[in-house]
Amino acid sequence: MKPAVLRRHSPWAPWIFAAPFVLVFGTFVAWPLLQSLLLSFQQTYGPRHAVFIGGGNFRHLLDDPLFWTALRNTATYAGGFVFLMVPLSLGLALLLDRPGLRGRALFRLVFFAPSLVGMVFVAMIFFLLFQIRTGLIDSLLHALFPAFDPEFPWMQDYVMTSLIVASLWMYVGLNMVYFLAALQNVPTELLDAANMDGAGPWQRFRHVILPEIRPVAGFVVLLSVIGSFQLFELPWVMFDNSAGPNNHGLTVVMYLYKSGFIVGDLGYASAIGWLLALLLIVAAWVQRRLARAEEEAS
Amino acid sequence: MRKMFAARLALLSPGAWVILALAASSSVAVALWRVPQRTGTDFWIFARQHLPIYQPLADQWNREHPGQPLHVSVIQFYALERRLLSGFLSGTPVADLMEVERMVVGRTFTGPPDDVGFTDLTDRLRQDGLLEKLNGPSLSPWTSHGRIYGIPHDIHPVGLAYRADIVEAAGIDMTQVETWDDFFRLLSPLMKDLDGDGRPDRYLLNFWPSPANRNLIETLVLQGGGRLFDDDGRPVLNSEANAHIVATLVTWLAGPRRMCIDAPEQTAGGDQMRANGTVLASLMPDWLAGAWENFNPALAGKVKIIPLPAWTRGGRRTSVLGGTMLGIPKTTADFEQSWRMAKYLYLSPASAEALYRNVRILTPVTSLWSLPVFHEPDPYFSGQKIGELFIRLAPDVPHRSSSAFTVPAIERLTGVLLSLRDYALQENRFTVEELRPEAHRLLDEAQREIAGEIARNVFVSQPAPAPAP
């Protein structure tokens, strides 16, 4: 039997509570999504002129070399970033998880702090750091190794490296916190048992810690891949509102922005957005399938 | 009655009633909130440096016309761009008068002429006799399908600023510089390895196909007689003139005649390189002269300006970089009022004087060039009368396209330069003749790409026949 207080509730109560969210979601998410889906089947000319062209935008997209350049750049960035970020974040977390470490809280703060600043700020810092001659990186390397070229063209010939380095600076500390939380949840009795069985540090890591933190690692990888595919502000600001030299910094979202707001073809931009959404859904689905398969296998 | 009220009250928990009460009261408060309705004319500008010019003019106007107030607002460049385009796209409010930068305005011209959000000013400019008073080439960036949609704010003729202290100390006479070849020949002894590491520590010119310096490419292409688009807005990147210019520019960037470095204007790194003499010369439009004076005091008294060296002897000694117009959106409540204010803000002697005095920008109203302010010596530029220099250059400023595809075209031209530079370094080819065939191939590729983009927009690729303004 239900308690009296629950029995008194009106059947409308859940709807009343859900209404604000439904209204906001409907107005600012669902309706714009529907509009953008409709827009992706139209070609827009200037501010007020649109023509229905069916799947024309999507067909053009598949033949558009710039879209493929953007996709290739974005995938390269995502691969490079995730490949380096996961071991670095996990390594830092393992270092800071040692109980006897002095100043652990300070180190955590120091490593985490870059993620508190905005991406635009990071882009501006690294724009200055990577400047030829006057940037800290070229100046320092030239001072330490006089043979190093003080005009080393980071932002001309090493666009992706520059972007990945800047992103790592920002996100390694943030993901370190996820790993740290996961490490602190590894049952100590398992580690003690492994110790008693004579397992060394590597064996403990490989056979105890890694399986325990795998769900968090999967979560970090998935979020990082999604975040990487949404990369926009970092290259846009670092390369002075452009896609960088020879489009080496062109990402899918940047191409969407340029198509919609610089060339003025909002229909094409919408098509790019929907294709990107599809790619991310597929990536998330694959990641979940792999994770589930591993769980079942173990 | 009391029982019924209690039963109604019990429909929701006390917490839910509190939430509902707060929601209801705040909704009522918002609905009843009286937003003060500002009367008058709104004027949006994107450059903070322009505020000291316009605010006194607006104050003066407001004193003289108490019933017709003019409000000036500074809105950050990209925020203004977004609000402008959003306004034209979806009808969100925009100002009655708006300053718009050249790279932005083309985006408002991508649809049919009737859809352009700015009022067509062609006939009013003609009726008021202003077309003859304005510097001719300065109208081109604001003209689409033969119609003019803005009053030009400026001309932006380009000269060449150089470190007079270093150059003159070396005994070099800059009056001997007529062409870019002269410039390189006379100044190349100054390109020196100062710290003995085998690399030059001083370069002659700030120019590089980098994102921050990309607009300089168009400036040099236009100076040399090249173009990005023809009169119908079709891309013409692969022309003889463009190939020659691009190939020559690559010889400035690599090989035995390298003389350039990437020292972008208005960046900390670039300013440092200018201050410590790593780079000796910069392309200098009038607005940049003002920016140097306001933000780069380290160079005061150390620099001078000469006309831009020509590509060939007797060739054009200037070019153009940047530009702004004043547009009147079609949504303005009172066009006549906005038009009167626009003329007052842009074309009056007071505004011309304030513009030059504050930011060194030369007015496009040719009849005002006789104002004394343009003939004063400028201590920052070693006592030169730079106003007179810019007035001499102004009529020769090249025409420009207002194409919405200008930004993509400049980006592709930047890519061509970088690819050609890589080719030169790989193949060890550093003469213009050796580079020309590859320049044509790369330009052709870039032209086809941009033409492909334009072809998707029938209003740009097949422009309506345009009546002459």
Across the interface, whether the CB atoms of A268 and B456 are under 8 A apart is answered: yes
> Mean pLDDT over residues B357-372, rounded?
96
Across the interface, whether the CB atoms of A261 and B85 are under 8 A apart is answered: yes
Chain B residues lying within 8 Å of A155, measured CB to CB:
210-211
Q: Give the pairing type, strands B303-307 and B324-327.
A: unpaired
Chain B residues lying within 8 Å of A235, measured CB to CB:
none
- pLDDT tens for each residue of B127-165: 999 999 998 889 999 999 889 999 999 999 999 999 999
The DSSP 8-state label assigned to residue B365 in this structure reads: B
Give the residue, B3 or B257, on which the prediction is more confident.
Answer: B257
Chain B interface disruption, residue of A142, A242, A248, A272, most B CBs within 10 A: A242
d(CA B404, CA A264): 8
Cα dist from B223 to A253, B137, B151, B158, whole Å: 35, 13, 24, 10
Q: Give the pairing type, strands B97-101 and B70-74.
A: unpaired
d(CA B214, CA B211): 5
> Mean pLDDT over residues A15-30, rounded?
91
Predicted local confidence at residue A51, as pLDDT: 83
Q: Which residue has the tokens 């194409």?
A: B403
pLDDT grade for A180, boundaries at 50, 70 and 90: very high
Against a cut of 0.90, is the pTM above it?
Answer: no
A123 phi/psi in degrees, rounded to 5: -60, -40
Predicted local confidence at residue A104, as pLDDT: 85
Report B:441-460 residues touching A (Cβ under 8 A).
Answer: 449, 453, 456-459
> Mean pLDDT over residues A100-118, rounded?
89
A147 phi/psi in degrees, rounded to 5: -75, -15
| Number of inter-chain CB pairs under 8 A, A vs B | 119
- pLDDT tens for each residue of B54-71: 999 999 999 999 988 999
- pLDDT tens for each residue of B25-39: 999 999 998 877 778
Chain A residues lying within 8 Å of B409, measured CB to CB:
none
> Mean pLDDT over residues A121-149, rounded?
93
Q: Which of A130-134, B108-112, B260-264, B279-283 is least confident?
A: B108-112
- pLDDT tens for each residue of A260-271: 888 878 899 999
Across the interface, whether the CB atoms of B459 and A134 are under 8 A apart is answered: no
Q: Give the residue among B256, B150, B170, B214 at the shortest CA–CA distance from B413.
A: B214
Across the interface, whether the CB atoms of B110 and A246 are under 8 A apart is answered: no
Chain B residues lying within 8 Å of A49, measured CB to CB:
111-112, 115, 459
Name the residue in chain A with its Cα closest to that of B271: A134
Q: Which residue has the tokens 């066009």?
A: B335
pLDDT grade for A47, boundaries at 50, 70 and 90: low
Predicted local confidence at residue A46, as pLDDT: 64
Name the residue in chain B with its Cα closest to that of A10: B11
Predicted local confidence at residue A98, as pLDDT: 85
- pLDDT tens for each residue of A183-201: 999 999 999 999 999 989 8
Across the interface, whether the CB atoms of B414 and A246 are under 8 A apart is answered: yes
Name the residue in chain B with its Cα closest to that of A154: B210
Predicted local confidence at residue B263, as pLDDT: 94
Across the interface, whether the CB atoms of A47 and B111 are under 8 A apart is answered: yes
Q: Does this complex have an ipTM over 0.85?
A: no
d(CA A134, CA A45): 44
Crossing angle (nearest 10°) for helices A65-96 and A159-184 = 40
> Mean pLDDT over residues B387-400, rounded?
96
> Mean pLDDT over residues B329-337, rounded?
94
pLDDT exceeds 90 at position B385: yes
pLDDT grade for A2, boundaries at 50, 70 and 90: low
pLDDT exceeds 80 at position A250: yes
Average pLDDT, chain B: 92
The DSSP 8-state label assigned to residue B297 in this structure reads: G
Name the residue in chain B with its Cα closest to that of A246: B415
Q: How far is A240 from chain B (nearest CA, A)?
A: 6
Cβ–Cβ < 8 Å for B320, B398: yes
Residue A5: half-sphere exposure toward Cβ, Cα within 13 Å: 3
Please tell me if residue B144 touches chain A, with a CB cutoff of 8 Å: no
Across the interface, whether the CB atoms of A245 and B210 are under 8 A apart is answered: yes
Cβ–Cβ < 8 Å for A232, A261: no
Across the interface, whether the CB atoms of A128 and B199 are under 8 A apart is answered: no
pLDDT exceeds 60 at position B336: yes
pLDDT grade for B465, boundaries at 50, 70 and 90: very low
Predicted local confidence at residue A175, as pLDDT: 95
Of the partner residues B116, B197, B268, the one whose CB lies closest to the CB of residue A146: B197
- pLDDT tens for each residue of B295-306: 999 999 999 999
Across the interface, whether the CB atoms of B267 and A10 are under 8 A apart is answered: no
Report B:14-73 residues touching A (Cβ under 8 A).
Answer: 16, 20, 23
Chain A residues lying within 8 Å of B273, measured CB to CB:
133-134
Tell me chain B's radius of gyration from C-alpha atoms: 27
Kindly state the tokens that stand for B422: 């890589």
Across the interface, whether the CB atoms of B107 and A150 are under 8 A apart is answered: no
Chain B residues lying within 8 Å of A242, measured CB to CB:
211, 214, 411
Q: Which of A206-210, B111-115, B191-195, B400-404 is least confident?
A: B111-115
Predicted local confidence at residue B142, as pLDDT: 95
DSSP for chain A, written as a single string: ---HHHHTS-TTHHHHHHHHHHHHHIIIIIHHHHHHHHHTTEEEETTTEEEE-TTHHHHHHHT-HHHHHHHHHHHHHHHHHHHHHHHHHHHHHHHHT-TT-TTHHHHHHHHHGGGGS-HHHHHHHHHHHT-TTTSHHHHHHHHH-TTS-TT--HHHH-HHHHHHHHHHHHHHHHHHHHHHHHHHTS-HHHHHHHHHTT--HHHHIIIIIHHHHHHHHHHHHHHHHHHHHT--HHHHHHTTSS--GGGTT--HHHHHHIIIIIS--HHHHHHHHHHHHHHHHHHHHHHHHHHHHHHHH-
Q: How far is B269 from chain A (nearest CA, A)?
A: 5
Predicted local confidence at residue A284, as pLDDT: 86
